[in-house]
Structure 1
Amino acid sequence: MTGFETKPEYVISDETALRDLFPPTHELAAKKCLTKLDRHARDFIERAPFLCLGTQNADGKADVSPRGDPPGFVKILDRETLAVPDRPGNNRLDSLVNIVSNPSVGLLFVIPGFDDTLRVNGQATLVVDPELLKAMSISGRSPKVAIVVKITSVFMHCAKAFRRSRLWDPERFQDRDDMPSLMKIINDQIDETPVSEEELNELDQKLEESYRKTLY
């Protein structure tokens, strides 16, 4: 397969050219952006067990990281401030390192069964305040760091993407066994040396054991 190259004449390089492709936005879409949490945004955040966190480093290199916990895991500190616990992971720290160099973040809150989502943009700070961390503890285990977000914009996002994908439709669920296990995929990506099925099973078991030990 040869590398794909876009012809320069088909590249959109300014906002005017971009907007010329689309009709004007609906008045409600233009006005829906808030700078503080209202009661509906609060209710959505308190129900959400999952979010995606978008960050960038100082050079603009982007990253998106999933975050999940029981509903209400994101603490609402006031109408303009949220706190997201950082739970144990693989210690790559991609999102956290990005925040240190570039505090601009985007959060997408998701509730199972809801087709609409909540988007929050803001400026993040990494905080190790013991009282705040203790307030976000689960089963006696506190996060090492809280991501405190000062909100700059918050708004509801329509259901089109989730409805097009039929994400919550059980009839569209795919069998995970149709693809190799996570450890098999990673091994194939980083090492061309064949690994026996027995060794892969051992790696899979170790991964599951790490889930049990590090979740809570």
Structure 2
Amino acid sequence: MNSKSAPSSDIAFTPTVKAIQSRKGSRATYAGIEQRGGWQTTIDPDLASFIGEVRSFFLATANSEGQPYVQHRGGPPGFLRVIDRNTLGFADFKGNRQFITEGNLEDNPKAFLFLIDYALQRRVKIWGRARMVEATPALLARLMPEGYRARPEQILLFEVEAWDANCPQHIPQRFEADDVARLLAQRDARIAELEALLAARDDT
């Protein structure tokens, strides 16, 4: 990164934020990050792997007056997909048709993704710009989860500008119901197998 350019973390660390960090004693830590260029700006293999397991996330936008809006998006694992090192995309399924996010993005393309994995107690914050585009056959072939019964209405493309992974502190550990059901089924099958072996021994 050019030493004269602002660190990527400045996307969130405004002068006001930095002043508060100084006042509350955390500025030195983040200044060190800034000296190394700030946060990552491209999708590396570790982030791509994490995204590949995501089942839900939150998308934040703001309208032309700065009014924020947060929307949940969910689907099968990996429905949020890496298109290239700088771009994410997903099929936007039909919902309540309020179109608040789409309207906000037409006025203000700045957007934010908040990804959290409760089982692994990991969260990732991604800043960037987003836009809604037509759900063309080519994009649907690339972004629509195979076999998923939902109606795609459009496509959202997200250009990554910076991202940061938070520590697991204070994230409650929770597990997906189908993951728990699968593990319980495996346990029950193993118990049945062992009981059958014991019964066979008793019969001899």
Pair in the same fold by TM > 0.5: yes
Other-structure match for 2:154: 145
Counterpart contact for 2:87–2:157, Cα < 8 Å: yes
**Which residue identity lines up with residue 159 of structure 2 in the other structure?**
K
Following TM superposition, by how much is the alpha carbon of 1:168 offset from its aligned partner in structure 2, in angstroms?
Answer: 2.1
Instruction: List alignment gaps of at least 5 residues for structure 1.
Output: 1-12, 171-216
Following TM superposition, by how much is the alpha carbon of 1:134 offset from its aligned partner in structure 2, in angstroms?
Answer: 3.4
Matches within 5 A, 1:13-24: 14-15=16-17, 17-19=19-21, 20-24=23-27
Taking only the aligned residue pairs, the percentage that are identical comes to: 22
Following TM superposition, by how much is the alpha carbon of 1:94 offset from its aligned partner in structure 2, in angstroms?
Answer: 1.4
Cα-to-partner distance string for 1:50-90 (whole Å, 9 max, x where unaligned): 11101011111101111111111012110000102211211
Other-structure match for 1:58: 64
The root-mean-square deviation of aligned C-alpha atoms, in Å, is 2.5
SS at match of 2:126: strand
Counterpart contact for 1:133–1:142, Cα < 8 Å: no
Distance 1:47 1:22, change over 3 A: same
Partner residue of 1:135 out of 139, 142, 145: 142
SS at match of 2:57: strand
- Taking the aligned partners of 2:157 and 2:175, their CA distance within structure 1 comes to 34
Counterpart contact for 2:64–2:104, Cα < 8 Å: yes
Partner residue of 1:124 out of 130, 142, 152: 130
Moved more, 111-120 or 28-37: 28-37
Counterpart contact for 1:44–1:118, Cα < 8 Å: no
What is the TM-score with the length of structure 2 in the denominator? 0.67
SS at match of 2:24: coil
Instruction: List alignment gaps of at least 5 residues for structure 2.
Output: 1-14, 177-204
Aligned residue pairs: how many?
A: 155
Following TM superposition, by how much is the alpha carbon of 1:18 offset from its aligned partner in structure 2, in angstroms?
Answer: 1.7
SS at match of 1:144: strand
- Taking the aligned partners of 1:136 and 1:74, their CA distance within structure 2 comes to 8
Following TM superposition, by how much is the alpha carbon of 1:96 offset from its aligned partner in structure 2, in angstroms?
Answer: 1.5
Following TM superposition, by how much is the alpha carbon of 1:151 offset from its aligned partner in structure 2, in angstroms?
Answer: 0.7
Counterpart contact for 2:135–2:152, Cα < 8 Å: no
Counterpart contact for 2:94–2:150, Cα < 8 Å: no
Other-structure match for 2:6: none
- Taking the aligned partners of 1:142 and 1:134, their CA distance within structure 2 comes to 13
Cα-to-partner distance string for 1:20-68 (whole Å, 9 max, x where unaligned): 1233353675556111011101101001111110101111110111111
- Taking the aligned partners of 2:90 and 2:130, their CA distance within structure 1 comes to 10
Matches within 5 A, 1:191-202: none
Distance 1:15 1:46, change over 3 A: closer
Greater radius of gyration (CA): 2
SS at match of 1:99: helix
SS at match of 2:112: strand
- Taking the aligned partners of 2:112 and 2:156, their CA distance within structure 1 comes to 12
Counterpart contact for 1:36–1:152, Cα < 8 Å: yes
